[in-house]
Structure 1
Amino acid sequence: MPHIAHIAVQTPAHSAVGELLSYASEEVLPPGTLVRVPLGRRELLGVVWEPPAAPAPLPEGLELRSVACVLPGLAPLDAGWRRLVAFAAHYYQRSVGEIAVTALPPQLRDMTAEQLARRLAPPKPARKSRKSKAETETEPQACEPVRPQQPAAIPSIALSAEQASVFAQIEQSPGPFLLYGSTGSGKTEVYLRAVQAVLEANPQAQALVMVPEINLTPQLEERFTARFAPLYGAEAVVSMHSGMTNPQRLKSWLAGHTGRARIVLGTRMAIFASLPRLALIVVDEEHDASYKQQEGARYSARDLAVWRGRDAGAKVILGSATPSLESWHASSPTAQGGPGRYLRLAMPGRIGAAALPRVRLVDMTQQPRKAVFSPPLLEAITARVQRGEQSLVLLNRRGFAPVLFCADCGWKSDCPHCSAHQVFHKGDRTLRCHHCGFTQRVPFACPSCGNPDILPLGKGTEQLEEELERVLRNVQRPDGNPARVARIDADTTRAKGALQEQLAAMHAGDIDVLVGTQMVAKGHDFRRITLVAAVQPDSALYSSDYRAPERLFCLLMQAAGRAGRDAGYVAAQGSRAEMWIQTHDPANPVYAALQKHDYEAFAARQLQERQDAGMPPYAFQAIVRADARTQEAAQAFLNAATQAARDAQLPWLDEVFIYPPIPMAVQRVANVERAQMLLEATSRGALLRFLNHWQPWLHWLRGQGEHRTIVRWLVDVDPLSI
């Protein structure tokens, strides 16, 4: 008699198919086994799961489809991994199958049993080439077996007093920890020591180290490989991020799953890596919004790291010079004077007595009108080029200008498919929509009135690069060569290896002024930068999103941290590290706190404002979004969902406040209208329980005739932008 296997499969979105699907199997399959199963006309990868606590009886006469095959050579995914997937699915309102399957490498999802068997087979010995007698006589006739090299000793790097104190607390306490260290305080060395400690304590232990963006992975991998490869082998350190090829991702995943990899470095996707012996999780730059997935299952890798660490008994270190307000609040003492949920560890000083940069505010209302750079800032940049120092200019907007404009008729370069402007890219003379990707050539004249004088409005990184090249064209470096300006943003780093090449040139001193977006504002250890300038940061101050001041402060604080990291170099140059901010609102409290490098005062003020307004972390939120062909249809679906919850008197509804639906900030993308509805509660449990009861009604509503025009709907728990 065949056995029944309950399998998690990625079913079509909004199909309302059950969490687990039942299949017939000739043998008992342990939970965590990877199998291929038929679904409709396709054959998909699935993960065998524990049976439900009270499985529903099968209808009489129903014949189950059989498991197609079991993927050979792989140990089942362990119970800890399955608990992580189940928690993420429950918390972020997705199906277990979607989370489980998308967490696996793309190449593994498409492999047959035969292909995987070939992939796992040991490599065949190389064939001996035919050599001439003369070549053979010149070669050694007998070879001694290669003896493994003795592990090299870990480089002895003296810790500062702050580092030593923090590391001792990590050793003695279970955590989780919030490592609050200023930029350049040596947080990475603390991570290295913490990883070293867990690997030495257990010969099978594994560590997961996460960074927010792909471009930060290579330099971190270089440091970890240099430290640990001599001890544990070249395969001990692997990376895992979406910039890798599918075969590379599969190789890294297998190394972690089998235990060959002792250290996994990666972006947010690495939180779902199969690491059966996980003992430590490090989340660097934990405040970064990149840890929140914005497509599909909208999970927070940082929050899942804390949950996974607690579940696995692994230590968790969250590190940042500007912690998220949620983490800062969680590490604050309780009202009764007890410790917070996180143990806060402080490292306020920089390594080597390096001073934090002086912050200088430039009031742009007192500068020449339409000036891209104020004259004092240009003088400061010029002086640094002449001394051989480097400068970083930050503008978080790529392209030449956000929009083209006709002064005669008011025409703007709007995207025909989105409620957004097409950005002017001067380099290739195109207009591009950064939302849907639609691209077209720049018109020779206004398409509306024929005026040939259409003008760019606003500034982008291309414009800053062009302006600096013009201003610095006659400025010479100490070696007599002309000043060199470079730009790093999403447009200049598309080619494979382009980012690494540009960063290497920056580290080598070949670039004098680097213009970039937030890609270069965090995590990079540029030793020769003594000046950082933020050109146009004010727009974030007047956003409708209550998190905008926090994001701006973190970005500017992180950018300032790129300056003056090498105290010896700054002293030898007779210079001083500076952060210049061009603003039309120099009296803003955000800039006042930034001038003093006073994150604690900024956080206290922001948390008080949020507590007064009843916003996170003092409340808990979720967003329900609907996409449709018309805005009316999207909002009608959300209104109907609210009414259905009230008519059904769903549990916990009384503890959840549902706001009316509104259009999203970018209302239309790729000809799809988008609307959203905010839910808020003072209890996280009440919000989640209500959402769990509401899910079936959302599925049911979409199947009704008047709502079948809905393209998709989704639930975003703990949203980062509203």
Structure 2
Amino acid sequence: MPDSPHPPVPRVLGVAVPSPLRRLFDYRPCRETPPGGWQPGLRVQVPFGRRQVVGVVAECRDASELPLSGLKPVDACLDEAPLPADWLWLCRFTARYYQHALGDTLHQAMPVLLRQGRALEARTRERWCVTEAGRQDAPPGLSRAPRQAELLAMLRQHPHGLVSQAVLAQSFTREQLRALVDKGLVERHEEPLAATSTDEGDSLLAEPALPLNREQAAVLGTLHERLEDFHPCLLHGVTGSGKTEVYLQLIEAVIARHRQALVLVPEIGLTPQTLARFRSRFRVPVVALHSGLTDHERLDAWEAAASGRAPIVIGTRSAIFTPLARPGVIIVDEEHDGSFKQQDGLRYHARDLAVARAHRHRIPLLLGSATPSLESLQRALKGDYRHLHLTRRASRHAPARLELVDLRGRHRQGGLIPPVIETIRETLAAGHQVLVFINRRGFAPTLACHACGWLAECDHCDARMTLHRQPPLLACHHCDRRRALPDACPECGSIDLRPLGSGTERTEETLASLFPETPVHRIDRDSTRRRDALEQVLAEVRRGDPCLLVGTQMLAKGHHLPHVTLVVVINADAGLYASDFRAMEHSAQLLEQVAGRAGRAAHPGRVLVQTLHTDDPHLRLLADSGYDALAEQLLEERRAARLPPFRFLALLRLEAPREEAVAELGRLASQALRDWLGERDLEVDCLGPVPAPMERRQNRYHLQLMLAADRRSRLHEAGAWLIAWLEGRPEARRVRWSLDIDPQTLA
């Protein structure tokens, strides 16, 4: 008896729909069976309440808890083949680990156009190439068609042909192209719009690799030892030590084995720089995935990676969900950076998912940083990760040490004291560039009344409004509420309103008045909203003319600024004494990263750090001995305090417009959880509830309940019970709540 072309049709499809509910919804299959039969990973259009939504088949079964006659049928199957299996596995793992609804996880992990029901297929374009007949000295049929002859002559100059857009831009027409095709002189090819390689050279490289120093060569040799197995490594290299060159040469070896590389970078601002370097090195297609792409561009890149046409994929946090046909290596650059953690909705950490994904595929994982997170550093010290070191800069200058400058009792201009201003003047006179770092946007942190002490506070948050000059207004950087500048103090009527403190705009204005002949470039979220604005400014800076850069942490992450020899930190104290136990770690990483922008090329660098606390032991240790010594001490403090990375945390976040609703649910949840834990002796601590560090934000009250455990499995068991309890409580329907696994901040 011949085999059936399809497996038996299941009676029930368990569909994951975009919903916060942590369950599947049962549907009956529609009449038309997909070519490969029903299987997990197929997108389907289904009725859900009063809406039509796109879901993903997660299970195929023959039974349901509900009567089969009461199940609604699937309206349509949108795919001929399921979405990539590696992507589906990663989404299932993410939903399970982060205690999130599978339907919403799948929804967030796929491009917008796939969520809307578009097909996963490549957009194409036409390429026109000259045939052998067209290359003859006197092709027939062109004596009375001069424009066709001109078109053929132009195409002859391009061995790999030209796309339609390039041909039409030269004032030729499609009719002329088709006429040449009819005469057999030109042929038309259809090719994918994204990740199309037109260079048929034998060499993988478009330019030669750079020579490696002894440390780089040793690191690369270690990485080459296990290219066919899970091999997690922490590349701990000082800023400017050539980590990117190691990445490039590792990827070269991976591509030579016909595998793909996924590279994660923390910020969209780093993507153009990284893309440019990778595309100039390799002849193979390199695609990008980040929030700055259009929906069509994102789908094109996603499909190119899934099909295997793109050997190199570079992207920000969400790119971890990019499917790969032949995964070969995952690289996470600046692995310590907080941008890899999603702070709302699906609260995943891209670095940790990279570890899980590399383990699943049995491929190498490389985490790179000059200031590793304490979690990764501890795993390297334990031996879970191979600990690789790069201690020397490629420029041969030692990394600049922090010089602490005492702010106490000193007059300031735009946040700068006179000795620092004089050092800036000397640096510019020597023909070098200066970076002034201030991690506050706007003109000043707030507006104050000099008569009665009134401060401009946000009506919707427990925060002060930031004063902006361009345009003039008060803005809350937490809820984006804006209001016009007052003519007088609303409390006492005084017109003596003064800016309090300095932001990037005020420092920019001060430097422009002090150094009128020198260009001042401000780089923050406000000045770089326009597409490519950041890259245009950085391109001008890299020309090397003396200039002043004023910026926030956007400038601290990975940018190569070879002509900067002086870095000035306006105020190092802003993040040192926050309530979060990670405040010192994050502040130290930021200071070391921004200091790493100085002295990366021919001239040594210098870093001046203005502070009111020059005698702070942590800050002094960082200045005298560097980040590694401070990290060692912080790890001992965390061990003694039983905090991550020596324990595991989960944070229940509650928020609602009414303070009473949040407080009541927090009280009930904590009591119920403590009673449940007491019955089972799970060794999970329940701390709180307590108000969040900013209790009122966006006109909503925020409360937190923390779970802590020595074993991850115990924490997840308690978290799953708490979620089930909340889903069954009527009080929880009036409160927005979420469980954050491995929170990176308590704010």
What is the TM-score normalised by the length of structure 2?
0.86
Give 1:478's aligned residue.
none
Q: Aligned to 2:575, what secondary structure does the other structure show?
A: helix
1:643, distance to aligned residue in structure 2 (A): 2.4
Asked whether the equivalents of residues 562 and 599 of structure 2 are also in contact (C-alpha less than 8 Å), the reply is yes
Residue 683 of structure 1 aligns with an amino acid whose one-letter code is R
Pick one of 159, 163, 176 that aligns with 2:212. Answer: 159
Asked whether the equivalents of residues 39 and 60 of structure 2 are also in contact (C-alpha less than 8 Å), the reply is no
Give 2:510's aligned residue.
467
The yes-or-no answer on 1:149 pairing with 2:155 is no
CA shift digits 1:455-476 (9 cap, x unpaired) = 1112111111111111112xxx
1:371, distance to aligned residue in structure 2 (A): 7.2
Q: Aligned to 1:609, what secondary structure does the other structure show?
A: helix
Pick one of 105, 121, 136 that aligns with 2:111. Answer: 105
Q: Taking structure 1 as reference, are residues 707 and 598 closer, same or farther at Cα in structure 2, changes over 3 Å only?
A: closer
**d(CA) in 2 for partners of 1:275, 1:693:** 35
5 Å matches for 1:478-627?
482-510=517-545, 512-566=547-601, 569-570=602-603, 576-627=604-655
Q: Aligned to 1:264, what secondary structure does the other structure show?
A: strand
1:514, distance to aligned residue in structure 2 (A): 0.2
Asked whether the equivalents of residues 415 and 501 of structure 2 are also in contact (C-alpha less than 8 Å), the reply is no
1:311, distance to aligned residue in structure 2 (A): 0.8
**d(CA) in 2 for partners of 1:187, 1:140:** 47
Asked whether the equivalents of residues 2 and 25 of structure 1 are also in contact (C-alpha less than 8 Å), the reply is no
Give 1:718's aligned residue.
742
Asked whether the equivalents of residues 651 and 690 of structure 1 are also in contact (C-alpha less than 8 Å), the reply is no
**d(CA) in 1 for partners of 2:616, 2:231:** 36
Q: Aligned to 1:48, what secondary structure does the other structure show?
A: strand
Asked whether the equivalents of residues 3 and 25 of structure 1 are also in contact (C-alpha less than 8 Å), the reply is no
Q: Aligned to 2:69, what secondary structure does the other structure show?
A: coil
Asked whether the equivalents of residues 26 and 71 of structure 2 are also in contact (C-alpha less than 8 Å), the reply is no
Give 1:46's aligned residue.
55
Give 1:336's aligned residue.
none
Give 1:82's aligned residue.
88
Asked whether the equivalents of residues 9 and 101 of structure 1 are also in contact (C-alpha less than 8 Å), the reply is no
Pick one of 416, 419, 424 that aligns with 1:373. Answer: 416
Residue 715 of structure 1 aligns with an amino acid whose one-letter code is L
1:45, distance to aligned residue in structure 2 (A): 2.0
| Stretches of structure 2 lacking an aligned partner (at least 5 in a row) | 1-7, 129-141, 161-198
Give 2:719's aligned residue.
691
**d(CA) in 1 for partners of 2:67, 2:56:** 26
CA shift digits 1:281-330 (9 cap, x unpaired) = 00000000111000101111001100110011111000000000000000
Give 1:326's aligned residue.
375
CA shift digits 1:372-416 (9 cap, x unpaired) = 212221111111111210010111110111111113333221111
Q: Taking structure 1 as reference, are residues 167 and 457 closer, same or farther at Cα in structure 2, changes over 3 Å only?
A: same
**d(CA) in 2 for partners of 1:419, 1:373:** 29
Give 1:709's aligned residue.
734
Q: Taking structure 1 as reference, are residues 64 and 2 closer, same or farther at Cα in structure 2, changes over 3 Å only?
A: farther
CA shift digits 1:669-704 (9 cap, x unpaired) = 221111111111111110011111222111111xx2
Q: Taking structure 1 as reference, are residues 690 and 342 closer, same or farther at Cα in structure 2, changes over 3 Å only?
A: same
1:269, distance to aligned residue in structure 2 (A): 0.2
5 Å matches for 1:450-465?
450-465=493-508
1:177, distance to aligned residue in structure 2 (A): 0.2
Give 2:728's aligned residue.
700
1:607, distance to aligned residue in structure 2 (A): 0.6
Residue 561 of structure 2 aligns with an amino acid whose one-letter code is F
Q: Taking structure 1 as reference, are residues 584 and 312 closer, same or farther at Cα in structure 2, changes over 3 Å only?
A: same
Q: Taking structure 1 as reference, are residues 61 and 275 closer, same or farther at Cα in structure 2, changes over 3 Å only?
A: closer
**d(CA) in 1 for partners of 2:514, 2:56:** 60
Give 1:206's aligned residue.
260
Q: Aligned to 2:695, what secondary structure does the other structure show?
A: strand
Q: Taking structure 1 as reference, are residues 447 and 59 closer, same or farther at Cα in structure 2, changes over 3 Å only?
A: same
**d(CA) in 2 for partners of 1:680, 1:485:** 48
The yes-or-no answer on 1:168 pairing with 2:221 is yes
**d(CA) in 2 for partners of 1:674, 1:494:** 30
**d(CA) in 2 for partners of 1:121, 1:601:** 52
Q: Aligned to 2:576, what secondary structure does the other structure show?
A: helix
Q: Taking structure 1 as reference, are residues 142 and 18 closer, same or farther at Cα in structure 2, changes over 3 Å only?
A: closer
**d(CA) in 2 for partners of 1:648, 1:607:** 32
5 Å matches for 1:386-465?
386-465=429-508
Give the number of equivalent residue pairs: 680
Task: Tell which deviates more after alignment, 646-655 or 247-256.
Answer: 646-655
5 Å matches for 1:348-367?
348-365=391-408, 367=410
What is the TM-score normalised by the length of structure 1?
0.89
Q: Aligned to 1:582, what secondary structure does the other structure show?
A: strand
Residue 431 of structure 1 aligns with an amino acid whose one-letter code is L
Asked whether the equivalents of residues 434 and 564 of structure 2 are also in contact (C-alpha less than 8 Å), the reply is yes
CA shift digits 1:152-186 (9 cap, x unpaired) = 45213211100000001111144200000000000
Give 2:99's aligned residue.
93
5 Å matches for 1:178-217?
178-201=234-257, 203=258, 205-217=259-271
Q: Taking structure 1 as reference, are residues 78 and 135 closer, same or farther at Cα in structure 2, changes over 3 Å only?
A: closer
**d(CA) in 1 for partners of 2:572, 2:86:** 44
1:50, distance to aligned residue in structure 2 (A): 3.8
Asked whether the equivalents of residues 393 and 399 of structure 2 are also in contact (C-alpha less than 8 Å), the reply is yes
Pick one of 611, 626, 630 that aligns with 2:658. Answer: 630
1:5, distance to aligned residue in structure 2 (A): 5.0
Residue 402 of structure 1 aligns with an amino acid whose one-letter code is P
Give 1:65's aligned residue.
72
Pick one of 685, 695, 699 that aligns with 1:657. Answer: 685
Q: Taking structure 1 as reference, are residues 140 and 696 closer, same or farther at Cα in structure 2, changes over 3 Å only?
A: closer
Q: Aligned to 2:538, what secondary structure does the other structure show?
A: helix
**d(CA) in 2 for partners of 1:60, 1:371:** 72
1:650, distance to aligned residue in structure 2 (A): 8.0
1:359, distance to aligned residue in structure 2 (A): 2.5
Asked whether the equivalents of residues 86 and 323 of structure 2 are also in contact (C-alpha less than 8 Å), the reply is no
**d(CA) in 1 for partners of 2:419, 2:705:** 47
**d(CA) in 2 for partners of 1:488, 1:37:** 46
CA shift digits 1:319-355 (9 cap, x unpaired) = 000000000000004xxxxxx1100000011113122
Task: Tell which deviates more after alignment, 388-397 or 142-151.
Answer: 142-151
**d(CA) in 1 for partners of 2:327, 2:360:** 11
Identity of aligned residues (%): 39
Root mean square deviation of aligned Cα: 2.5
Asked whether the equivalents of residues 652 and 687 of structure 1 are also in contact (C-alpha less than 8 Å), the reply is no
| Stretches of structure 1 lacking an aligned partner (at least 5 in a row) | 334-339, 474-481, 571-575
Q: Taking structure 1 as reference, are residues 347 and 422 closer, same or farther at Cα in structure 2, changes over 3 Å only?
A: same
Q: Aligned to 2:705, what secondary structure does the other structure show?
A: strand
**d(CA) in 2 for partners of 1:500, 1:371:** 26
CA shift digits 1:222-272 (9 cap, x unpaired) = 1111112x2x2xxx2100011211111111111111111111100110111
Give 2:10's aligned residue.
3
Task: Tell which deviates more after alignment, 143-152 or 442-451.
Answer: 143-152
Give 2:319's aligned residue.
270
Q: Taking structure 1 as reference, are residues 582 and 515 closer, same or farther at Cα in structure 2, changes over 3 Å only?
A: same
Asked whether the equivalents of residues 208 and 280 of structure 1 are also in contact (C-alpha less than 8 Å), the reply is yes
Q: Taking structure 1 as reference, are residues 556 and 312 closer, same or farther at Cα in structure 2, changes over 3 Å only?
A: same
Q: Aligned to 1:593, what secondary structure does the other structure show?
A: helix
Q: Taking structure 1 as reference, are residues 143 and 457 closer, same or farther at Cα in structure 2, changes over 3 Å only?
A: closer
1:644, distance to aligned residue in structure 2 (A): 2.6
Asked whether the equivalents of residues 325 and 607 of structure 1 are also in contact (C-alpha less than 8 Å), the reply is yes
Asked whether the equivalents of residues 428 and 546 of structure 2 are also in contact (C-alpha less than 8 Å), the reply is no
Q: Taking structure 1 as reference, are residues 187 and 303 closer, same or farther at Cα in structure 2, changes over 3 Å only?
A: same
